[in-house]
Amino acid sequence: MARTYKQALAQDKNLPKYILQRDDFPKGSRMYNIVQNKINEAYGVKKRHEVSVTDAEKAAMDDADAAADKKAKEAKAAADKKKL
């Protein structure tokens, strides 16, 4: 069951800001969907609107994944070295 406005506000203090921001974007646009998803999350609504990822964001995510993989490998190597 969805939360009331008061409950949603307690969940996310930025709710009024999100509601105002949403009105600045055309319905269905990437930014509208991002803000609407934040509103839905505050209200406890499971519906999420699709948000396309830009090429720059994809590259940043790939870089972050590569860095995380490298860090995990280094941690495993260090743990293996301690076992010896």
- Residue 52: pLDDT band by 50, 70, 90 thresholds? confident
| Dihedral sign, Cα of residue 61, residue 67, residue 70, residue 72 | negative
Q: If we measure between CA atoms, which residue out of 53, 43, 7 comes closest to residue 22? A: 43
- Residue 58: pLDDT band by 50, 70, 90 thresholds? low
Rounded to whole angstroms, how far apart are CA atoms 71 and 80?
Answer: 14
Write down the pTM of the prediction: 0.62
